[in-house]
Each structure stands twice: as C-alpha cells, then as structure tokens.
Copies of this chain bind each other. A is one copy, B any other.
Amino acid sequence: MNSFGTLFRVSIFGESHGNSVGVTIDGCPAGIPLLESDFKTDLDRRRSGSKGTTPRKEADLPRFMSGVFNDHTTGAPLTIIFENTNTRFKDYEKLRETPRPGHADFVAYKKFGGFEDFRGGGHFSGRLTLGLVAAGVIAKKIISPVLVSAQLTEAGGMKDIEKAVEAAIAKQDSIGGIVECRASQIPAGIGEPFFNSVESLIAHIAFSIPAIKAIEFGAGFAAAGMKGSEHNDSFISVDGKTSSNHAGGVNGGIANGNDIVFRVAVKPTSSIPLPQNTMNIKSGKMAELRIEGRHDLCIALRVPVVLEAATAIVLADLLMIENRIKRVW
C-alpha cells in the first residue's frame, strides 16, 4: 500500500513518464496558510541541476487539486499533482529484455506480470519523491517549532563532496553517500513502545526512499562495540537532557527530548554510463548493456530534502496522535 501514517496520512502515486506524479494528504489540519510558492525552496533542493544530477528538466510546479481554499488548507484531503512534461518513450522499450542491474526492472516485471509501466522505472522512479517532498513542506509547517534538517556528510567515501562528484564524472561511474538527519525541539514522550517506536516509523519511511540501504540512530553500528558504561547517556537536567546522545534521542521507542539523530546510507546510482553485463531474460544469454538517457551520478545529492520531508511526516503524525497539534490551525 502506498500510504503512510495514522492521522496525518500521506499517499503517493504516479510514474516517471506517465501523466503525473502526485500526493494526497489525508488528515491535514485545517487553516494552514498554503501557497503553491511555499513549495519552491524544497522542490528546488530536490531538483536536478547541479553537477552529478540528471539533465532532465521538469518545471515541477505543484497544482492543488483539492483541499486548499482561499490560500489555506481546508481540512479535507489535499491532493497535489505534478504533471510530467519532459517524458521519453523510446529510451526504455529496448531495455525490457535486459533488466538494468540494481534497478527495479526485473522485480517489477515479476510482480506486475509485464503490465508495469517500464518507462524510466515507471512507478519505481525517484521522481515519486516529489510527492514526499511536497507533503514534507506541509508537515514542516505543522510540527513547528520542531525543526528537521538533513545534510549529505560524505559521498563516494569522501568528506569533500564536490571532489567526489568530479571524480565520479571523470570515471563515468556513480557514487553513494551518507546523509545525516537531525530533529530538534522534540517533546519527550512521542512515539510508542515496540511496533510504533520512533525508530520503527522513521526507518519505515526512510527505506521507502529509493536507494537507501541502511539506517542508524545515535551511535548506531558503533554501539555494538561499546560498553554499557560508555554508551549510556547520563541525565543532566530534570527535563531529560543528557550529556551525550548515543541513543539518538530515543529510549524504549519513545523520544526522550534530546535531538533525534540518525544517518542513512545511499547506494550509488544504479544507472551508470559504463557498459555492464546483464542477462537477457528472454534468451538466457549474457548481453552488454549501455544505459543511455539522463541520469544522476550521485543520487545522494538529492536525498537530504527527501529525508527531511519523510522525517517531518513521521513527526507530524506522532505529534497529532499525542494531541500536540490542533486539528484547526
């Protein structure tokens, strides 16, 4: 199911080269001021354009199809459409028999029996994150003063990200990266023990972002090699602030009032300019594959704004469940 959330419920739809991609937000509080221009900053951050990102040009203008009236949310389901304009067809048809390594082509074929829209990854395209980013813009408004911020801290194994991208372009190969996200001003007590722990919900939505393959909270994997006496965060204030934050702001699944901090690993883009070997799944023979078209070499560059949006969506939902957000703004 392409929906996420209990009270602030986000559903995404669309295809890379179909009519549109879009999002519906069900349960959005009424009365939030909202203009189409409010989306510009985050959509620009998500968009391609810088070195290492795809040259495909899309205006990415959001169009409110429902749920906004007189420049405010109405409380009814809010649907935003992004029409696709710069679509291509021919690039993709020839790839059907030779599924691209690392892509969803093969699994989409197995799952949907050949009826999937295969153009540019179809429904599996990273273009679907437009809907997430749009929902995130609204989520960020309603969680205020809680702030969410994400940065690319490493690409291709290097801290100097610009150099890493230049090296990738030179080698005609793709690279991955690490994105760190931090949410601050979180009230202690949100989240649930066990199944709906803060970590469970954030990880759930983070792994719905294409290319993310790992997540760690606080000390994360390093915690496995620490001693309890090192790892335990000491309380230093009656409202729960701790001297260190190895827990990443979460104990027992519940936010403890310190910053929620986590990192995700973004794999290198699957589409690479270099020729690759793959199997023709009709003939069973190995074939050389050259991926043409317009692709990112370092998709991790575009992940921070998407991860912020995803995190803000989780927090909006948890804050609503915990009665911390009014139903009318």
Contacts and interface: CB of A to CB of B under 8 A. Distances in A.
Contact of A117 (B69, B230, B328): B69
Contact of A115 (B30, B174, B235): B30
6 contacts: A3-B11, A174-B229, A197-B208, A199-B207, A214-B224, A228-B271
Task: Give how many copies assemble into the complex.
Answer: 4
A293 interface: no
Interface in A293-329: 300, 321-323, 326-329
Contact of A188 (B75, B107, B238): B107
A227 to B, nearest CB: 4
A136 interface: no
Contacts of A247: 102, 213
Contacts of A63: 19
A112 B328 contact: yes
B214 A215 contact: yes
A48 interface: no
Contacts of A220: 213-214, 265
Interface stretch (A37-45, A51-59, A122-130, A142-150): A122-130
Nearest to A158: B225
Interface string A97-113: 00101111011101111
B276 A234 contact: yes
Interface string A5-26: 0110101111100111110101
